[in-house]
Structure 1
């Protein structure tokens, strides 16, 4: 079985790597083109890896990112605290000695050649593990490859069959495009963290199934939870759903007391280790995860006092009230008491989905497809490959078997030894993951893999007839099932492999060349969030705003920067830019476009909603466009257009 786990992990790694290369022709790009290919926040994250590997020493590089004055010009920030940059720190820590060792040993770890780019100037392109970009993405894809390994093991655990593991991995492969986006966006935090999250779920499932409670298993859980928490801010919300799922299984008497204590100790330990390593990240305190740990710990440790309650609905109600009141009480208490508002936008986003509430910040999220409700096309794709129908069949078959063996009304001593604790945990986790995906499409990376785990239940010999069906008949049915999955699944894989592209962005390349040649090294830039990340990465110029939006301070900064698209008076906006220390503002004409279908989702409409008192004034967008077309700066003074070669990127001097 170990061999199969390693094999499927390697296949997943190779598949991801191939898709990435096919999409961007990464091997033939120059390093500066590779930097531009890391769009939006990806470029921001990679810039810190670049900072560390180009610093005189590793420690000096780490000091530069923990005392950063370039990312948010005007004040110093600890980017390790803010941006979950431990993946970059670890990869840089490994790259520096590797490169030095390769050089001293005369290893050929990088091959370079000149690439002719037609009308553009020729560039040098280097590939090989010795290239910093290749070292970085290889690290990402090696970690991401383990997702298939964990899914295989989870399939085996819930089905008691190696075939269940194979079924789970095949479902993942056949629905790969709806299960992950690491192949398109390697530097994102989820690319590093999700493999540890699903690995943690696999370890937890094993511990629940076999009722483990030793120190070794405690440390095993911590070893997976800490990297997950360090690598992605959203992990704490994912772990909150895990706490809720464990609560459900424990309340049904399906998790032994000692095992539950081991699990909650691991979460508490992982939280404090991560909190310290992230230099006291305030958002961790205020999020639902930390309060829910204490709530579940309370439930676990007082449950023996409630052992006399035999009426299950009453027992569940009491535990639910305890769990819910402590979680919400501590959440509100920590947020209000410590004045932490960093996660307020998350609840604003959820509020905007069910009410008419909206503000500038929620529009920036919800107008993006990945933060919208899950699309019907996604459900259609997952249904056409039979993933959703088979998952529903698995749930139905399991529910029939479970309910026939379990008393829903009365608790009995026998229930403490009931089967299927690990399955109940994973099914509740599936419900949580599906809820997240339905609300925010980007989170389908949690739902789809868990649907694959659920399908593996069909290989469990205790379900769908159990021992009444001959082994040969059951095996034949499962083989037929795989054939049905492959009928639509294999074309999906072929479609992915047929995606061919070649990254090129000559307009942005010209812009960055101009910045390098015509501005001072300490010139401060502002602009739209995606462009600012690449400005920092490629030109090394200070910026005032960036795409990492999970902090109340940067949301306020971005609102001020984006007033350049408002209807405020020119003089007022100019004064705002001057106070922030901005020297140049970069924007694209498309930033000032209209959308008759969704007018609230363009900057013009957002500002009419945000600043109604100025809604009757002329939009600054119209002034920028008029000045760009007429080459007359009189109407936008004291701003001045200093770069406008191709009616795409425009640079205003403040």
Structure 2
């Protein structure tokens, strides 16, 4: 299988002043010129310097990940087939549509080939633009064709440089969000440094370039930055309108580029709902955000030819339910504590019931079953009954969909990020609890407010949103490791903004009765600078060593397989095999597939389970009948799956198939009582013995150390 081997020989930080305050009466600090003109000039210089630093850090991060990718694979030196093989699993499938559009005779023919595609799933014609989020590949391919860059830049470099360029957008958005929350660009600098030094846990763009999340997360970060700005007080109407437009564009692009957008925005909508219930956000702005989420997702639905999975999403049902419940329940935020709590409980129950009813109704009307595997997976994951369902167990057994490993926290602690994050999280959570209680109780007595002022601060709407955002996405990351990248990047923002916040240090110093404005300002800047110096001292040598380490891509078995397929099989041949491998077959050879890794379709999931019977205990006649029902001409067997050792017993692919088929699993260990011995041996093992019962249906035409290819007989 693929490895990365050692390449053979041959072939200064300055602290910033606060961002301009929104308040009109600001007491001059000793460091800031006291006259209004001098203060204005100082603020302009600070904002300009902070902006230049943000762009510079974004570009440096982009160059950094691009260099790591080149150093790891020697991408500029390897053959085209090796470059394409390096796009593993679903990454290769998505990139194949970019390649298809580039190679089409015209843009119109390329689009027609995507809308009426009969090579991704044999004996079926599907609409790729409806089924998959590949508009970014379409846009890039059109851009490449119309720009005069073909002589200077290969298509693959135009593609990967665009993704690496989006990392610059990502880092700038994180920087700006932290700056907005803290009021100083020093916070943004710290957030960007934490993002880079925790790269293993904040991004995987350099080795999974075409993955949908690498397109989507930069736009999500821009959206969060825009929401943070929108929730600030005293915005002018023009500023508010422009910010809403930015939020809409970022939401739309995020939704367009990732199939899991609806689940991420549902969590975001829950954050808005919770804060609105506790009267911690302006209701009018929250309403606009609900509407933007709905309109952005519905626009994507139209572009994806009314994709039923989007229409049946919980996000649409939830947002519609919240807006309906508001019109039904009046005076929700009036009354005493007990009155408010009663109304709040009733409101939550009403929204929950409406969400379930609307969602059930939509799915019933549309006969929607595309996302049922996700709910089966969630049901099994959280212990609501064991299951032998093949699709649910396929997810449960993947490490990426398991709990977040504990060693993640030790890595994050090495950079001090986790320690600072927990410190800020506890402080702001306590503050949020006090503010929420005060809002619900409706107390506005002067004495009470003065007493509260001594030991707490008012939690601003932008800080409240980011607090709830990080808590909810933290819960998601803890439960599902693959989603940690949504949390860890925001963790950098949240921790840095808290560490550089005047309000946080003012609160701490007031509680221990040591507060002075000079002392608070000194700590506000000195602690982040010391943290930056520590990070630089500890991690700069490692980054330099990482950049100097040269490797190269090495996967001769897969290269040999792809070259053989291109040279020895008809261009119309249909191939069956594992989802991951077939994505590479489509990209490298253009042959027709029986199945592929984009799993959000019920028919495809059923088809994949049937194709995978090549690794189950089935008779050669049964396997031949199944393969021919999908028009299969060749089947590829992989030793790494047939004799899998990566997973423990019960999670190997052959075990999942045995359980789904009601057969006893191989090896020592317990079996469920209802499982029975199979009448047939395992197909992928027995076929290699060349017994007559197998050779009548299958003829071996290629083999190497990893792969075995058999021609499937076309019996009448």
For the criterion TM > 0.5, the same-fold answer is yes
**Structure 2 counterpart of 1:372:** 402
2:694 pairs with 1:643:
no
2:217 pairs with 1:176:
no
2:81 pairs with 1:55:
no
Structure 1: distance between partners of 2:218 and 2:570: 42
User: Aligned with 1:601: secondary structure?
Assistant: coil
**Structure 1 counterpart of 2:478:** 438
Q: Which moved more, 1:41-50 or 1:328-337?
A: 328-337
- Describe the superposition over 1:600-642 as per-residue Cα deviations: whole angstroms up to 9, x where unpaired: 1222211221011585236654x543543x5x24241433232
Alignment of 1:76-155 (within 5 A): 76-98=125-147, 101-102=148-149, 109=152, 130-155=153-178
**Structure 1 counterpart of 2:603:** 553
Structure 1: distance between partners of 2:646 and 2:283: 59
Change (3 A) 1:499 1:380: farther
User: Aligned with 1:270: secondary structure?
Assistant: helix
Contact 1:245 1:426 in 2 (8 A): no
Contact 2:499 2:524 in 1 (8 A): no
User: Aligned with 1:545: secondary structure?
Assistant: coil
**Structure 1 counterpart of 2:270:** 244
**Structure 1 counterpart of 2:564:** 514
Alignment of 1:466-481 (within 5 A): 466=507, 468=516, 469-481=519-531
**Structure 2 counterpart of 1:447:** 487
2:348 pairs with 1:320:
yes
**Structure 1 counterpart of 2:692:** 634
Q: 1:227 aligns with which of 244, 249, 253?
A: 253
- Describe the superposition over 1:334-373 as per-residue Cα deviations: whole angstroms up to 9, x where unpaired: 2234221111111122222232234211222222211111
Q: Tell me by how many angstroms 1:492 deviates.
A: 5.9
Q: 2:363 aligns with which of 321, 335, 345?
A: 335
Alignment of 1:31-42 (within 5 A): 31-42=80-91
Contact 1:226 1:274 in 2 (8 A): yes
Q: 1:497 aligns with which of 541, 547, 556?
A: 547
2:465 pairs with 1:425:
yes
Structure 2: distance between partners of 1:170 and 1:506: 38
**Structure 1 counterpart of 2:15:** none
Q: Tell me by how many angstroms 1:202 deviates.
A: 0.9
Q: Tell me by how many angstroms 1:536 deviates.
A: 0.9
2:215 pairs with 1:192:
yes
Change (3 A) 1:404 1:482: farther
Aligned pair count reads: 624
Q: Tell me by how many angstroms 1:186 deviates.
A: 0.6
Contact 1:528 1:562 in 2 (8 A): yes
Q: Tell me by how many angstroms 1:531 deviates.
A: 0.9
Structure 1: distance between partners of 2:612 and 2:483: 27
Q: Tell me by how many angstroms 1:409 deviates.
A: 4.4
**Structure 1 counterpart of 2:113:** 64
Structure 1: distance between partners of 2:541 and 2:661: 50
2:652 pairs with 1:652:
no
2:435 pairs with 1:392:
no
Contact 1:264 1:293 in 2 (8 A): yes
Structure 2: distance between partners of 1:303 and 1:208: 24
Structure 2: distance between partners of 1:495 and 1:302: 62
**Structure 1 counterpart of 2:506:** 465
Structure 2: distance between partners of 1:533 and 1:238: 26
- Describe the superposition over 1:117-176 as per-residue Cα deviations: whole angstroms up to 9, x where unpaired: xxxxxxxxxxxxx20100010111111221110110110122122122122212212211
**Structure 2 counterpart of 1:126:** none
- Describe the superposition over 1:364-385 as per-residue Cα deviations: whole angstroms up to 9, x where unpaired: 2222211111111112211232
Q: Which moved more, 1:477-486 or 1:166-175?
A: 477-486
Contact 2:576 2:611 in 1 (8 A): yes
Q: Tell me by how many angstroms 1:228 deviates.
A: 0.7
Structure 1: distance between partners of 2:116 and 2:617: 36
Contact 2:54 2:189 in 1 (8 A): no
Change (3 A) 1:405 1:285: closer
**Structure 2 counterpart of 1:531:** 581
User: Aligned with 2:208: secondary structure?
Assistant: coil
Structure 2: distance between partners of 1:248 and 1:272: 24
User: Aligned with 1:305: secondary structure?
Assistant: coil
User: Aligned with 1:587: secondary structure?
Assistant: strand
Compare CA radii of gyration and give the structure with the larger one.
2
- Describe the superposition over 1:66-108 as per-residue Cα deviations: whole angstroms up to 9, x where unpaired: 110000011111111111001101100110012xx246xxxx5
User: Aligned with 2:280: secondary structure?
Assistant: coil
Q: Which moved more, 1:47-56 or 1:289-298?
A: 289-298
Structure 2: distance between partners of 1:499 and 1:354: 42
Structure 1: distance between partners of 2:335 and 2:697: 74
Structure 2: distance between partners of 1:193 and 1:596: 30
- Describe the superposition over 1:458-477 as per-residue Cα deviations: whole angstroms up to 9, x where unpaired: 21101123563342343222
Change (3 A) 1:6 1:299: farther
**Structure 2 counterpart of 1:381:** 411
**Structure 2 counterpart of 1:483:** 533
User: Aligned with 2:404: secondary structure?
Assistant: coil
**Structure 2 counterpart of 1:121:** none
Change (3 A) 1:470 1:591: closer
2:30 pairs with 1:7:
no
User: Aligned with 2:117: secondary structure?
Assistant: coil
Change (3 A) 1:201 1:598: same
Q: Tell me by how many angstroms 1:423 deviates.
A: 1.3
Root mean square deviation of aligned Cα: 2.4
Alignment of 1:241-320 (within 5 A): 241-301=267-327, 305-311=331-337, 312-320=340-348
User: Aligned with 1:502: secondary structure?
Assistant: strand
Q: Which moved more, 1:254-263 or 1:389-398?
A: 254-263
Q: Tell me by how many angstroms 1:296 deviates.
A: 3.0
Structure 1: distance between partners of 2:621 and 2:684: 14
Q: Which moved more, 1:555-564 or 1:381-390?
A: 381-390
Task: Show structure 2 runs of 5+ residues with no match.
Answer: 1-49, 450-456, 508-514, 665-675
Q: Tell me by how many angstroms 1:310 deviates.
A: 3.4
**Structure 2 counterpart of 1:410:** 441
Change (3 A) 1:527 1:647: same
- Describe the superposition over 1:228-256 as per-residue Cα deviations: whole angstroms up to 9, x where unpaired: 11110111111111101111221222222
Structure 1: distance between partners of 2:187 and 2:548: 29
Q: Which moved more, 1:425-434 or 1:398-407?
A: 398-407
Structure 2: distance between partners of 1:229 and 1:568: 42
Contact 1:5 1:149 in 2 (8 A): yes
Change (3 A) 1:486 1:348: farther
- Describe the superposition over 1:414-437 as per-residue Cα deviations: whole angstroms up to 9, x where unpaired: 99x964111111111112211111
Task: Give the structure-1-normalised TM-score.
Answer: 0.90
Change (3 A) 1:340 1:487: farther
Change (3 A) 1:161 1:362: same
User: Aligned with 2:699: secondary structure?
Assistant: strand
Q: Tell me by how many angstroms 1:497 deviates.
A: 3.4
